[in-house]
Amino acid sequence: MNPVRLVTTGGALAYRALFNWTTPAMYAGTLLAGPAFQLIFFAYLGRQLQVADDRFFIVGNAVLAASTACVFGGTLAVGNERRYGTLGHVLLSPRSRTAIFAGRVLPYAGNGLLIAAFTLTVGTAALGLRIPLAALPGIVLALATGSLACAFFGLTLGAVGLRFRDVWVVSNVAASLLLLLTGVNVPRSGLPPWMATVGEFLPITHAAEAARTLAAGRGFGAAAPALGAELLVGTGYALLAVLLLKIFEAESRRRASLETL
Amino acid sequence: MTTLRMLAIGTLLHAKHLSRSPFEVAMALIVPLVQATLAVHLFRSGDGSHRLIEAAVGAGLMGIWASVLTGSGGAIQNQRWQGTLEMIMLAPRRPVTVILPITAATAVTGMYALLATLAWGRIVYGIRIELAHPAAFLAAAVACVLGLGMFGLLLASTFVLLRNANALANPLDYPIWLLSGMLVPITVLPSWTLPVAAVLPTTWGARALREATVGGPVWPSIGICLAIGAVCLVVGGYCLTVFERRARVTATLALS
């Protein structure tokens, strides 16, 4: 199998096998309806408290919508191999772990992009937000960048799952913290400085900023620095995921705890 | 064994069971605090800085509902996964008396969320816990637990027929938080949502807690919350019996 096929076909097969929410009911309920309701909740809360305008909440929560699929997907990409007893087989493969796991991230990122686009569409239609047509390509790029960074963040959490047994706690807490620290719902100027600083190193933060800049019609040039920062964060998590997978794999072999649940 | 004793012992049993799960404990400990922090900073960022105690109480109530919803979604499914659904359905008692303790236990453990968010608000953000009616607040909290537990039973009863009950339960957090006015007053919502909000026990539970916090007629709200909860209990009990029989006939009770 050539490397490209390993990444694409391997990633697609792993997505079908390991992502628990691919049934129509689970997909629509958890990944489409949930984020749309979240967006509407925060938009009404923001209106009532006069925290910011609708654009702030609609665009921010649309970017964040990718996180459910990406964070939990990344966790499942590693965690479910262990649950189904196939992790050992994957790690016995003579192919590059980096290529195997990088391939797994791509379907989750694509899925995240789809969910984010759906949430943005629902949010704008339900709450009457007008986004300049010229801004749409840039916004799609911001959503894609946020989804990719988030998927690598999820893979990092999945790698942590090789060391800690209950990876669901880690991923659920991480998903909650994204809601708080990325400035999607609370303007970062309203957060304590340490929280805002932590948010700088999380996915979604810069993608949401870029998408808001574009939705405000300020042009791609104004959003480019934030997009670059999001790419940097995503790359950082990709490297961290690869490093942690190597370390924890070696550690799990040494301690004979590879498939301990 | 009297029915009340069975319900009490069942609730205690399931609460103990929940407390043995590191996942349940960690989520119950951490998520309400994150929600409380989010609510406090949102209220501070806007024009709600004088209503921080409402943010803390609202976030606590959100935690109770999240716990009940997760518990209700998993009430049947978890028994299926554990292989104990047939056994509890074979018990010589009505199905309602064996399922209600599961949802009641989630509401009881969810009470921690309310206590934790208030303590968090006091310790971390210096929010003064000045309740207009302290005794009524306690009564409202108990009414919330009972009302939400009975509402959870109604949800759980519909989940007997569904293999992926979580698919229905997962997206229901935010709509109920919104429609019940836990953080957003329902008066700012579109008018068509008001009749829906009026039939939810969560709306009246949230209202009772808010009135006990800032002042207002608490007891009518408590009464309505419990009355709607009782209706949920009756309807849920009926549905549970019908759906359980149907699942037995079609031999789908244990399918997951």
Between these two residues, B70 and B147, which has the higher pLDDT value?
B147
Min Cα separation B39/chain A (Å): 9
Tell me if B47 and A49 make a contact (CB, 8 A cut-off): yes
Q: What is the pLDDT of residue A127?
A: 93
Distance CA A166, CA A41 (A): 30
Burial of A91 (0-12, 13-18, 19+ CB in 10 A): middle
Is pLDDT of B170 > 80? Answer: no
Tell me if B170 and A29 make a contact (CB, 8 A cut-off): yes
Q: Where residue B79 falls among pLDDT bands split at 50, 70, 90?
A: confident
* Residue B255 belongs to a domain: no
Q: What is the pLDDT of residue B229?
A: 94
Q: What is the pLDDT of residue A85?
A: 81
Name the residue among B187, B181, B233 with its Cα closest to residue B202. Answer: B181
Q: Is the dihedral of CA B75, B79, B85, B89 positive or negative?
A: negative
Residue A181 neighbours by CB under 8 Å, 6+ apart: A191, A195, A198, A199, A202, A205
* Residue B9 belongs to a domain: yes
Which of B52, B70, B174, B193 to probe by mutation at the A interface, max A CB count within 10 Å? B174
Between these two residues, A175 and B167, which has the higher pLDDT value?
A175
Q: How many domains does chain B have?
A: 1
* Residue B183 belongs to a domain: yes
* Residue B256 belongs to a domain: no
Distance CA B75, CA B214 (A): 35
Mean pLDDT value across residues B46-70:
86
Cβ A21 vs Cβ B171: under 8 Å: no
Nearest to A26 among B47, B167, B173 (CB): B167
Tell me if A45 and B184 make a contact (CB, 8 A cut-off): yes
Tell me if B46 and A41 make a contact (CB, 8 A cut-off): no
Q: What is the pLDDT of residue B89?
A: 82
Between these two residues, B228 and B15, which has the higher pLDDT value?
B228
Residues of B in contact with A188 (CB under 8 A): none
Q: Which residue has the tokens 């816990």?
A: B129
In chain B, which residues touch A (CB < 8 A)? Answer: 22-23, 26-27, 30-31, 34-35, 37-38, 41-48, 162, 164, 166-168, 170-171, 173-175, 177-178, 183-185, 188-189
A64-118 pLDDT per residue, tens: 999 988 998 888 888 788 878 888 788 788 888 888 888 888 899 999 999 999 9
Tell me if A168 and B23 make a contact (CB, 8 A cut-off): yes
Residues of B in contact with A41 (CB under 8 A): 174-175, 177-178, 184
In chain A, which residues touch B (CB < 8 A)? Answer: 23, 25-26, 28-30, 33-34, 37-38, 40-41, 44-51, 166, 168-169, 172-173, 176-177, 179-180, 185-187, 189-191
Residues of B in contact with A44 (CB under 8 A): 178, 184, 188-189
Tell me if B178 and A191 make a contact (CB, 8 A cut-off): no
Q: What is the pLDDT of residue B49?
A: 75
According to DSSP, residue A164 is labeled: S
Q: What is the pLDDT of residue B135?
A: 93
Burial of B15 (0-12, 13-18, 19+ CB in 10 A): middle
Cβ count within 10 A of residue B76: 29
Which of A83, A186, A194, A261 to probe by mutation at the B interface, max B CB count within 10 Å? A186
Q: What is the pLDDT of residue A259?
A: 65
Residues of chain A with pLDDT under 50: none
Is pLDDT of B17 > 60? Answer: yes
Tell me if B170 and A34 make a contact (CB, 8 A cut-off): yes
Q: What is the pLDDT of residue A150?
A: 94
Q: What is the pLDDT of residue B160?
A: 67
Distance CA A185, CA A223 (A): 19
Give the rounded percent of residues in chain B with a pLDDT score beyond 90: 30
Residues of B in contact with A187 (CB under 8 A): 45
Mean pLDDT value across residues B13-26:
83
Q: What is the pLDDT of residue A215?
A: 94
* Residue B188 belongs to a domain: yes
Question: Which residues span the domain enclosing B104?
Answer: 3-249
* Residue B113 belongs to a domain: yes
Q: What is the pLDDT of residue A207?
A: 96
Which of A41, A47, A170 to probe by mutation at the B interface, max B CB count within 10 Å? A41
* Residue B140 belongs to a domain: yes
Q: What is the pLDDT of residue B107?
A: 83
